[in-house]
């Protein structure tokens, strides 16, 4: 008896706009990466529940101008779609800061992926779908609003017909994220609408031809958690996939807000999984996204979790390590000091683009990060980043350790103390209990934030560690800072060269 259950999200942390395809018994999924490079994280699964990152679709400078044109937070790469057709993998995507829409292909999902083929369509959230005769359609969200459709040559990039407007939802704002499918005798057009905040929704229509006319589902929106008290919110931007046993599933984005009103989310928009049924009239039916649910039938394929600690003993960085805007070859090295990641400062501050930073997504509400840092004559440490105007860091240099908070227009050193020269351990803990009160006036200890970030000199779980400061986590949330991303925690250098002997991320309650 197959009785496994899974917990949502199936890919935690900042992994929004999921798109999925199945090839045989294997599933492949891509997500948006916005300003971070390498771009478009790529995952593999055998059961839709356990996902392993096997690379990034855009992982070399020839594929993507670096730094990303525009160099702004929440810019860059929006909403990819992945499909398998005619023996090849296809990913279509938008670089909103330069170039527009493009297609890359690969014979194997692990790559190498081709250089981009640019498509002359203005808009975002492109999709690819093929008719039986090879006709390729690209649905996308147009620049004037609404969903458009064009017939294209995905190999050469030419627009062969259109674009022309197609069905654009039930009237909610921002119809986007279209996916077009041929299922049985019908073509279905699945879209997101309502905005990617609390009003986010999924709606669907169908037609006998991609050209229409389109019939909207009588129960639209197909899915929305708007106005509910569910722990999962902002549900939308969905893609459908059929399992080998004939069951249908939907991957979609959502958030897990926390804290006092207004609830805020800090991990970004994550990837969730929910079952799809079909009613007697041929319409998909989706129940509210569960926090826990029976898994798809078939074999159970757990995958090894990435090691909690990276000792930087290899010759390449693991695919989950990302950098904002760019990662010049001269800014980092795994060979200069074998067994360490050496970062060379390319900018003097984290407040404007152009600095050296290598990080990973925060994927758990409670976690602990530590690193062994040798600042030498430089300056650097651990940063918790949302964007250039919202970040906290603990850094070493010039014989001292200090904690710095940047919140909007304010930048403040909130703690500092002398530190011995040479390598030292720096730590950050994130906890969702025993929160820092929002104001001294709240004598009952009530806190509005979703979590508290504590900064340490030394390993927080080891004797002799020195707590330096505790900060309210709500200022590193999307609802405060704006944008489309989530927290990224990593290593940086803003002066000279800084060596990191190891970096450890542990999903565990803080001390």
Catalytic residue numbers read 17, 176
3-state helix, strand, coil in the chain (%, to 5): 5, 50, 50
| Coil vs helix vs strand at 234 | strand
> What distance in Å separates the CA atoms of residue 277 and residue 279, rounded to the nearest whole number?
7
CA 61 – CA 68 distance, rounded (Å): 10
**In whole angstroms, what is the distance from residue 143 CA to residue 418 CA?**
54
Nearest-angstrom CA–CA distance, 283 and 190: 11
| Structure letter (DSSP) for residue 63 | G
The residues pairing with 35 across neighbouring beta strands, listed in sequence order, are none
- The closest alpha carbon to 84, from 153, 38, 130, 152, belongs to 130
Say how many C-beta atoms besides its own lie within 10 A of residue 398's C-beta. 14
Task: Assess contact for 308 and 506: CB atoms under 8 A.
Answer: yes
| Residues paired with 208 in a beta bridge | none
| CA neighbor of 116 nearest in space, from 125, 104, 107, 99 | 104
Cis peptide before 190 (omega within 30 of 0): no
202 contact partners, CB below 8 Å, separation of at least 6: 190, 191, 192, 221, 222, 223, 224, 235, 236, 237, 238, 250, 252, 286
Distance in angstroms (rounded) separating the CA atoms of residues 67 and 326: 5
Q: What letter does residue 93 receive in the DSSP assignment?
A: E
CB 375 within 8 A of CB 277: no
CB within 8 A of 73, min separation 6: which ones?
Answer: 34, 35, 324, 386, 387, 388, 483, 485
HSE (side-chain half, CA atoms, 13 Å) at 22: 18
CA nearest to 91, candidates 114, 69, 68, 60 = 114
CB 202 within 8 A of CB 238: yes
Cβ atoms of 500 and 373 within 8 Å: the answer is yes
Report the distance separating Cα 354 and Cα 72, nearest Å.
11
Number of neighbours of residue 285 by Cβ within 10 angstroms: 14
């Amino acid at each position: 008896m197959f009785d496994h259950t899974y917990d949502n999200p199936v890919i935690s942390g900042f992994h929004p706009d999921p798109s999925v395809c199945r090839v045989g018994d294997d599933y492949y999924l891509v997500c948006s990466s916005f300003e971070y490079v390498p771009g478009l994280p790529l995952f593999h699964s055998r059961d839709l529940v356990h996902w392993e990152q096997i690379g990034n679709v855009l992982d070399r400078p020839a594929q993507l101008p670096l730094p990303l044109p525009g160099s702004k937070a929440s810019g860059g790469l929006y909403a990819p779609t992945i499909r398998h057709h005619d023996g090849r993998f296809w990913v279509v995507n938008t670089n909103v800061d330069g170039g527009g829409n493009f297609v890359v292909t690969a014979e194997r999902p692990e790559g190498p992926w081709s250089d981009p083929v640019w498509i002359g369509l203005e808009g975002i959230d492109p999709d690819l779908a093929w008719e039986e005769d090879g006709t390729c359609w690209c649905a996308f969200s147009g620049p004037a609003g609404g969903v458009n459709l064009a017939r294209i040559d995905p190999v050469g990039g030419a627009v062969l017909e259109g674009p022309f407007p197609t069905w654009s939802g039930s009237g909610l704002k921002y119809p986007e994220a279209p996916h077009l499918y041929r299922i049985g005798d019908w073509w279905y057009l699945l879209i997101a609408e309502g905005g990617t905040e609390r009003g986010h929704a999924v709606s669907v229509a169908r037609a006998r031809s991609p050209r229409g006319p389109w019939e909207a589902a009588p129960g639209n929106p197909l899915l929305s958690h708007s106005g509910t008290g569910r722990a999962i919110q902002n549900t939308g931007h969905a893609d459908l996939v059929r399992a080998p046993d004939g069951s249908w599933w939907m991957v979609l984005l959502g958030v897990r807000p926390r804290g006092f009103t207004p609830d805020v989310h800090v991990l970004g928009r994550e990837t969730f999984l929910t079952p799809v049924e079909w009613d007697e009239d041929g319409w998909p039916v989706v129940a509210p996204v569960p926090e826990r649910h029976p898994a798809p039938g078939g074999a159970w394929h757990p995958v090894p979790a990435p090691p909690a600690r990276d000792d930087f003993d290899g010759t390449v960085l693991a695919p989950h390590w990302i950098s904002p805007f760019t990662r010049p070859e001269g800014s980092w090295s795994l060979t200069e000091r074998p067994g360490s990641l050496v970062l060379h400062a390319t900018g003097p501050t984290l407040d404007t683009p152009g600095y050296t930073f290598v990080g990973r997504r925060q994927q758990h509400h409670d976690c602990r990060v530590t690193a062994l840092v040798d600042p030498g004559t430089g300056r650097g440490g651990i940063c918790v980043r949302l964007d250039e105007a919202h970040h906290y860091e603990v850094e070493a240099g010039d014989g001292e350790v200090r904690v710095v908070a940047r919140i909007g227009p304010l930048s403040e050193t909130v703690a500092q103390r002398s530190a011995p020269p040479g390598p030292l351990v720096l730590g950050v803990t994130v906890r969702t209990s025993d929160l820092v009160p929002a104001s001294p006036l709240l004598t009952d200890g009530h806190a509005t934030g979703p979590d508290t970030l504590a900064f340490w000199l030394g390993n927080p779980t080891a004797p002799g560690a020195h707590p330096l400061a505790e900060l309210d986590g709500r200022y590193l949330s999307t609802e405060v800072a704006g944008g489309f991303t989530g927290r990224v925690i990593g290593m940086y250098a803003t002066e000279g060269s800084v060596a990191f002997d190891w970096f450890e991320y542990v999903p565990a309650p803080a001390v």
